[in-house]
Chain A
Amino acid sequence: MNFSNETLKELYRLMVSVRHVDQAAVSWQRQGLLPAYAPELGQEAAQVGSGYVVDTSRDFVFPTYREMGVARAMGVDMVEYMSTHKATWHGGMYNPVETRLAPIQAVVGGSVLHAVGWAHGARLNGPDDDGTYPVAMTYFGDGASSQGDVHEAMNFAAVMAAPVVFFVQNNGWAISVPTERQVAGGSVAARAAGYGMESVQVDGDDVVAVAEATSRAFEHARAGKGPMVVEAMTYRRGPHSTSDDPGRYRTLDQERDDAGEDPVTRLRKRLEADGVADEPFFTRAVEDAKAEAEQIRAGIEALGSRPGSEMFEYVFQESTPALHEQARQWREESEHV
């Protein structure tokens, strides 16, 4: 991966965009526009840095419910993404096949195995013209690493040499439970050795380090060398969700001590020190991000609800007489025809 000055500036613009949209989404929840939201404040570098290296012409990404920054870096329409938080449709309104981003996943660790299946299927489909394989990248956190499915996924992937990148955002907290009460041994990446799998633990607040590490993991998987774990050490600076109250399990002083330097500020300092960008660039990035957030807000307000008939429409590819009958009865007895 070539980290040209333009790439670094693009990463910065993306991180500022994600920061503003994320903070705006919290406001939208407080204002009643969104029923709920899962902020990713502090994880911009981990999400943008990893999402940026995805080749959306061939790879596939499996998110959790806290991957807005990944979606943004992959170019997913933000209104369609936010529709999950608007309670429009659980998986989001974006087309997962076209965007290469699986539907938003509410089950902690639920989609990690899906990435393994997708990657194994890609391997069975054979390599692309350049002789390398498409890669599945799955996101999960330190909390999800406790789930049995994550173990099964890592073991399956390693046994089958599936081209998977396991991207762990170790953000210090699974709602109220800190990593030391969650991850025995303190590191998810360290577990990879037990599967005979390569891994790397990276400073998850350094967007360049994250992008480099993820890029290396993709090369490894593409070459048919099997799966790899990337553990980005970061910090969830905000609440678990807009319903959460971190004051019940950590103090503001602890947050300040543990969070470290803001990842957006870190990149800005680097760009300044290296003379890559100047004040007008930084100002412009913020203005663009604010304008983007406003556009997204307008898009969310214009979303409207899906017709109730869609409850019945998407259960099966081939629907059933019982569903037809229930839909008929619903139409007959409902005001929302």
Chain B
Amino acid sequence: MSNEVAEDIQPAGSPPPVVDQGAPRRAETRAETRAETPGNTVTMSMQQALNRALTETLEENPKTLVFGEDVGRLGGVFRITDGLQQKFGADRVFDTPLAESGILGMSVGLAMAGWHSIPEVQFDGFAYPATNQIISQIGRMNYRSRGTMPMPITLRVPSFGGIRAPEHHGESLEALFAHVPGLKVVSPSSPHEAYHQLKYAATRPDPVMFMEPKSRYWQKGTVDLDNAGTRTGAAVVREGKHATLVAWGAMVSRCLQVAELAAEDGVELEVLDMRWLKPIDASALAASVSRTRRAVVVHEAPRTSGLGAEVASTVTEQCFKTLKAPVERVTGFDVPYPSGDLEDEYIPNIDRILFGVQRVLEYRRG
């Protein structure tokens, strides 16, 4: 896993593309992939991995539907659903009117009629108008109906920042969703994870908020198509003994980058990709931090009541006796997500993560 990381990192200082230019034209999408090697390992971007997962899901389960704004003819603004409508028809893959509450509210009724919906909200911040349906309906219908009306809904949310996008296009909603009873939350960090986690989520009987790190859509990595590995819980993506970096989504590759740099100074950092943010994998956190005895949690979301607090609390409960330092949080700030010019100041960067590592390493009691 860690071998692919070095080339998986965006060069520092190179500005990510703006939204409209970020999505490649259809011909380019097709040209890139399909370099399948004997071990059935493929090199592809996360966009391609997600597209492939959706294709296979639609093939394997005739009761699945893909819909949302511009996901049909256009293939989605990020081209994640590229070509799906052509392949599966406008009944299975369709454009909805431009209303997120409508999209999610409709998913509830579709679930009652026996369909597994895989809707897309075009950008993270566009989920806000749908929160009433997500929180008051999707999260509760299984409960309200005493288990007779499951909500197999896999909501794809292009998430987090890093692409110089307009306002409400760089939000981190994981703590909001994780706080809602009845919802599950997952965020893939790599093409391999994206492919397998989406296929897995799309077969679950419960609602899953699938948070795709949009800044990673165009980064390539190897996907082992046949070997998913464990699909639930967290995964150690780099082993180390001095401290554990805990991250998810786009911050995983950044933490791996930090670990590379720290290794040059003889500091061996473990990197734990949380993957599932609800349910959170308490035993994986405990296993890692009980070895390293120090933890730094990194996320893009604002700090206050972010999932970093949940991680810190879990680690404290599980590893209190052996912890060498309080759990550090390196996070976004408690400010509205800033304009593109300032987003590199907001998103945890390598220096800030290294400072966090330094603080847990240098912490002395009393």
Residues of B within 8 A of A (CB): 65, 91, 96-97, 99, 101-102, 105-115, 132-133, 136-137, 141-150, 181-182, 184, 204-206, 278-280, 282-283
Are B112 and A118 touching (Cβ within 8 A)? yes
Q: Which chain B residues border A156 with CB–CB below 8 Å?
A: 96-97, 99, 102, 106
Distance (Å) between the CB of A311 and the closest chain B CB?
Answer: 9
Are A152 and B110 touching (Cβ within 8 A)? no
A-B contact pairs, 30 of them (CB 8 A): A60-B112, A110-B137, A114-B105, A114-B106, A114-B108, A117-B109, A117-B110, A118-B110, A119-B109, A120-B106, A120-B113, A121-B110, A121-B113, A124-B91, A124-B115, A125-B113, A136-B109, A155-B102, A156-B96, A156-B97, A310-B146, A314-B142, A314-B145, A315-B143, A316-B142, A316-B184, A317-B206, A318-B204, A320-B184, A320-B279
Distance (Å) between the CB of B181 and the closest chain A CB?
Answer: 6
Give bound CA distance, A132 to B280, whole Å: 47
Q: Which chain B residues border A89 with CB–CB below 8 Å?
A: 146
Which of B65, B91, B102, B282 has its CB near the most chain A CB atoms (within 10 A)?
A: B102
* Interface residues as binary, A127-166 with B (CB distance below 8 Å gives 1, 0 otherwise): 0000000001000000000001100110110010000000
Name the one of B91, B105, B205, B278 contacting A152, with C-beta atoms under 8 angstroms.
B105
Find the A residue at minimum CB distance from B99.
A152
Give bound CA distance, A35 to B114, whole Å: 35
Give bound CA distance, A272 to B39, whole Å: 84
Give bound CA distance, A103 to B280, whole Å: 30
Are B97 and A155 touching (Cβ within 8 A)? yes
Are A314 and B143 touching (Cβ within 8 A)? yes
In addition to A110-B132, A113-B106, A117-B110, 13 A-B residue pairs with Cβ atoms within 8 Å of each other are A62-B109, A97-B145, A102-B112, A110-B133, A114-B108, A114-B109, A115-B109, A117-B105, A120-B110, A121-B114, A314-B143, A321-B279, A321-B283
Are B147 and A317 touching (Cβ within 8 A)? yes
Give bound CA distance, A60 to B280, whole Å: 37
Q: Which chain A residues border B115 with CB–CB below 8 Å?
A: 121, 124
Q: Which chain B residues border A241 with CB–CB below 8 Å?
A: none
Given the interface pairs A320-B278, A320-B279, A322-B280, the reply to whether A149 lies near B132 with Cβ below 8 Å is yes
Q: Which chain B residues border A152 with CB–CB below 8 Å?
A: 97, 99, 101-102, 105
Name the one of A91, A110, A316 contacting B206, with C-beta atoms under 8 angstroms.
A316
Are A114 and B137 touching (Cβ within 8 A)? yes
Q: Which chain B residues border A122 with CB–CB below 8 Å?
A: 113
Are A317 and B150 touching (Cβ within 8 A)? yes
Q: Which chain B residues border A315 with CB–CB below 8 Å?
A: 142-143, 181-182
Q: Which chain A residues border B144 with CB–CB below 8 Å?
A: 90-91, 103
Which of B109, B110, B136, B280 has its CB near the most chain A CB atoms (within 10 A)?
A: B109
Are B147 and A153 touching (Cβ within 8 A)? no
Name the one of A117, A124, A320, A322 contacting B107, with C-beta atoms under 8 angstroms.
A117
Q: Is the interface of A mostly helix, strand, loop or mixed?
A: helix
Are A155 and B145 touching (Cβ within 8 A)? no
Give bound CA distance, A97 to B142, whole Å: 12
Give bound CA distance, A50 to B342, whole Å: 58
Are A96 and B148 touching (Cβ within 8 A)? yes
Give bound CA distance, A299 to B107, whole Å: 35
Distance (Å) between the CB of A124 and the closest chain B CB?
Answer: 6
Are B108 and A113 touching (Cβ within 8 A)? yes
Are A113 and B109 touching (Cβ within 8 A)? yes
Find the B residue at minimum CB distance from A115.
B109
Given the interface pairs A60-B112, A110-B136, A118-B113, the reply to whether A314 lies near B102 with Cβ below 8 Å is no
Q: Does A107 contact B (CB under 8 A)?
A: yes
Q: Does A313 contact B (CB under 8 A)?
A: yes
Find the B residue at minimum CB distance from A148.
B101
Q: Does A56 contact B (CB under 8 A)?
A: no
Q: Which chain B residues border A313 with CB–CB below 8 Å?
A: 147
Distance (Å) between the CB of B347 and the closest chain A CB?
Answer: 28
Q: Which chain A residues border B106 with CB–CB below 8 Å?
A: 113-114, 116-117, 120, 156
Find the A residue at minimum CB distance from B206.
A316
Q: Does A95 contact B (CB under 8 A)?
A: yes
Give bound CA distance, A102 to B111, whole Å: 12
Give bound CA distance, A245 to B5, whole Å: 66
Distance (Å) between the CB of A94 and the closest chain B CB?
Answer: 10
Q: Which chain B residues border A310 with CB–CB below 8 Å?
A: 146
Find the B residue at minimum CB distance from A93.
B146
Give bound CA distance, A112 to B97, whole Å: 16
Distance (Å) between the CB of A106 and the closest chain B CB?
Answer: 8
Give bound CA distance, A255 to B337, whole Å: 53
Distance (Å) between the CB of A333 and the closest chain B CB?
Answer: 17
Find the B residue at minimum CB distance from A313.
B147
Q: Which chain B residues border A90 with CB–CB below 8 Å?
A: 144
